Amino acid sequence: MPLLSSRRFRAAAAGVAVLGLALTGCTSEPSFSYEPPAQVDGALPDDTVAAMQDAVTNALTAAGASGAVVGVWVPWSGSWVSGVGTQGGGSDAEITTDMAFRVGDVTRLMTCDVLYGLADEGVVELDAAVPDYVSGVPDLADVTLLDLCNGTSGVGSSETVAKSAWLNTPERVWAPLELASYGLGAARTPAHSEYRDSDAGFLMLGLALERASGLTASELISQYVTQPLGLSSTSLPGGTPAAPSTGPVMNGHHLPAVEGGYTCAAPVDITTLSASSGFTDSGVVSTIGDLGRYVQAEAAQALRTTEEPNRFGEPLPAYQSAPSWQQATGGASLVGSLVGQYGWTPGYATAAYSDPATGFTVAVSLNDSTAGGTIAAFLAWELAAIASKAPAASGQTAPEFGLPFTAEQWHQAISDAALACVAPVEG
**Hey, is 5 helix, strand or coil?**
coil
Rounded CA-CA distance 148/136 in Å is: 16
pLDDT exceeds cutoff 90 at 46: yes
**Residue 414 pLDDT exceeds 50:** yes
Q: Give bridge partners of residue 68 from the DSSP assignment.
A: 84, 366
Averaged pLDDT for residues 346-357:
98
What average pLDDT score do residues 202-229 get?
A: 98
Kindly indicate the confidence band of residue 427, based on its pLDDT and cuts at 50, 70 and 90.
Answer: low
Q: How far is CA 59 from CA 85, 167, 285, 376, 422, in A?
A: 11, 22, 22, 8, 18
User: In the predicted model, is pLDDT for residue 220 greater than 50?
Assistant: yes
For residue 25, the model assigns a pLDDT of 32
Judged by phi (left if over 0) then psi (alpha if -120 to 50, else beta), residue 28 lies in alpha
Is it the case that residue 281 has pLDDT exceeding 90? yes
Q: How confident is the model at residue 352 (pLDDT cuts 50, 70, 90)?
A: very high
Helix (H, G, I), strand (E, B) or coil at 186: coil
Backbone angles phi, psi at 239, to 5 degrees: -80, -15
- Give residue 89's pLDDT band: very low, low, confident or very high (50, 70, 90): confident
291-318 pLDDT, tens digit each: 999 999 999 999 998 989 999 999 999 9
Tell me the Ramachandran region of residue 253: left when phi exceeds 0, alpha when psi lies from -120 to 50, beta otherwise.
Answer: beta
User: Are the CB atoms for 26 and 48 separated by under 8 Å?
Assistant: no
For residue 160, what are the CA distances in angstroms to 166, 183, 200, 278? 11, 9, 11, 14
- How large is the average pLDDT for residues 86-102? 96
With both helix axes pointing from N to C terminus, report the angle between 199-213 and 176-184 in degrees, rounded to the nearest 10: 140
32: pLDDT confidence band, cut at 50, 70 and 90? low
Summarised one tens digit per residue, pLDDT across range 135-165 is 999 999 999 999 999 999 999 999 999 999 9
Beta carbons within 8 Å of 233's beta carbon, 6+ residues apart: 100, 245, 286, 287, 289, 290
Is 19 a residue whose pLDDT tops 80? no
Cβ neighbours of residue 6 under 8 Å, at least 6 residues apart?
A: 33, 34, 229, 230
Contact assessment for residue 371 and residue 397, using Cβ atoms and an 8 Å cutoff: no
pLDDT surpassing 50 at residue 12: no
Residue 39 has pLDDT above 80, yes or no: yes
Of residues 424 and 151, more confidently modeled? 151
Total residues found in the chain within this entry: 427
Q: In what order do the strands lie in the sheet with 67-74?
A: 91-94, 78-88, 67-74, 361-366, 348-354, 338-345, 332-335, 326-329, 316-317
- Distance (Å, rounded) from C-alpha 94 to C-alpha 87? 6
Distance CA 7, CA 34 (A): 7
Q: Is the pLDDT of residue 73 over 60?
A: yes
* Interval 368-409: pLDDT, tens: 999 999 999 999 999 999 999 999 999 999 999 999 999 999
The pLDDT tens digits of the residues spanning 106-144 come to 999 999 999 999 999 999 999 999 999 999 999 999 999
pLDDT at 91 exceeding the cut of 60: yes
